[in-house]
Amino acid sequence: MADPTRGKLGIVVGGGPAPGINGVISSVTIEAINRGLEVVGVRDGFKYLAAGDVSQVRPLTIPDVAPYYQRGGALLGTSRTNPAKNPDHLNAVLKGLEQLGIKYLVTIGGDDTAYSGSQVYAHAKGAIKVAHVPKTIDNDLPLPPGIPTFGFETARHYGVQVARNLHEDAKTTTRWYILVSMGRAAGHLALGIGKASAATVTLIAEELKGKDVSIELICDIVIGAMIKRKAQGKGYGVAVLAEGLLEEIGETKLREMMEKNPGKFGSIELDAFGHLRLGEIEFGRLIRTTIASRLKDLGVKLDMVDKDLGYELRCADPIPFDAEYTRNLGYGAVKFLLSPEAEKNGVVVTFVGGNMVPRPFPEMIDPATKKMRTRLVDIGGENYEVARRYMIRLEQSDFDDATRLERLAAVVKMTPEQFRERFGYIVR
């Protein structure tokens, strides 16, 4: 039974959906009520609170949340409203939480929501204790090594199923699929899907860091894989590309491309956090169209289909890993908030080796960027090395071996020297 004297706990969900959000909401609610707290869910993130509207909340009971434990989506909704960007909005959030009598706050989201939660904690000056539960299917938050963000494993699981189905279709119909995977800042999801599905080639932004990245470079890497496959007698395959490659190309080059092809590949838009809205850019179509044009110049024709993959994964029912994981995280958030440590810091809740390790906001959030440090794919590690070893891609060894080089050049009716001149740059 809730004891009004114990206080009230609020739950806010921010950012994009991820499998397991309802698992966190459910476990937080059940544990908090079992410890004597009242629980309320704030609808649609900070959207209404930032506007001074405190009516968009709902009390949560155990019967309300228990059926949702293993369901996808977010029963409270979500939004990308960032109150930390505007002092008036942040003040409205603080005032609203005070009006609602909320003493404990659990925020669920990525790095932007974590920063918003940290600012609520800092400006409430101890009146509101805050625990943030990190979620993103991108797996790009700086959790301890080997610890995923919740939602990632489920997204990868269903993404692999799609990629395997597409591979069988590609083989059956002799075509290529260009599969674009979500993953703005890091390529974990694309690499995880590509590696586990045995995709022909996977390309992530991390391996292009420090290079002059262009649409042409990305397309030539895929074309190189296509040529190598044809040299092996196979005219089909699946290429998995991380959408974060768009960030590497950059807004300037993308705008130039869009201006040359108005309306053909979507539009350039920014979200509330100043990020490119990658979903508004038809990256797959852009890549497919450019590849087709460059293949035509080479005298090669291949049937291709582009497919964006991401929105289909975000509200999937969590697999057992994430169902269990989110129960741990929700329980851990409440346990922390009711501990003496909550008087000292607001935290990001993490688990290491089965034990909760709360990380204070100052350790996790860079004060300059106001974001958590991005966890990138380690392209120097064996995990990535294994992925590369099982891809079909042009490698330096293809150019060093005269027989291989001649076979590759023959596919596009070039001399070995011409092929080296045309494609050698992508392996340097």
Q: How distant, in Å, are the alpha carbons of 7, 23, 42, 59, 272 from that of 56?
A: 19, 21, 6, 10, 21
pLDDT at 372: 85
Instruction: Give residue-wise pLDDT tens across range 224-271.
Output: 999 999 999 999 999 999 998 988 887 777 777 777 776 667 666 655
- Angle, CA of 168, 170 and 172, to the nearest 5°: 70
Average pLDDT estimate for 22-27: 97
Contact 217, 177 (CB under 8 A): no
* Residue 138 counted as an annotated binding residue: yes
* Residue 311 counted as an annotated binding residue: yes
* Residue 312 counted as an annotated binding residue: yes
- What pLDDT band is residue 412 in, cutting at 50, 70 and 90? very high
Q: How distant, in Å, are the alpha carbons of 22, 104, 184, 251 from that of 276?
A: 27, 33, 9, 8
Specify the pTM: 0.90
* Residue 102 counted as an annotated binding residue: no
Residues of the chain with pLDDT > 90, as a percent, come to 76
pLDDT at 271: 59
Helices (H), 100-196: 111-124, 152-173, 188-196
Out of 3.30.870.10, 3.40.50.1820, 3.30.70.1400, 3.40.50.460, select the CATH number for domain 154-313. Answer: 3.40.50.460
Contact 129, 9 (CB under 8 A): no
Q: How distant, in Å, are the alpha carbons of 36, 38, 76, 100, 226 from that of 65?
A: 17, 14, 10, 20, 49
Tell me which residue of 400, 378, 414, 380 sits closest to 223, measured CA to CA. Answer: 414
* Residue 184 counted as an annotated binding residue: yes
> How confident is the prediction for the chain on average, in pLDDT?
91
Instruction: Give residue-wise pLDDT tens across range 117-144.
Output: 999 999 999 899 999 999 999 999 989 8
Is residue 223 scored above 80 in pLDDT? yes
- What pLDDT band is residue 183 in, cutting at 50, 70 and 90? confident
Residues of the chain with pLDDT > 70, as a percent, come to 95
Average pLDDT estimate for 397-423: 95
Residues acting as catalytic residues: 138
Identical fold for domains 4-150+318-372 and 154-313, yes or no, is: yes
pLDDT at 111: 84
Q: Poorest-confidence range of 6-10, 31-35, 173-177, 201-205?
A: 6-10
pLDDT at 356: 93
Q: Poorest-confidence range of 80-89, 93-102, 257-266?
A: 257-266
Q: Where are the domains of the chain?
A: 4-150+318-372, 154-313, 395-428
pLDDT at 269: 62
Domain 4-150+318-372: which topology?
Answer: Rossmann fold (3.40.50)
Tokens of 169: 């279709």
373-405 b/e with 16+ CB inside 10 Å = b?
Answer: ebbbbebeeeebeebeeebbbbbeebbeeeebb
Distance CA 148, CA 153 (A): 8
- What pLDDT band is residue 281 in, cutting at 50, 70 and 90? confident
Contact 358, 349 (CB under 8 A): yes
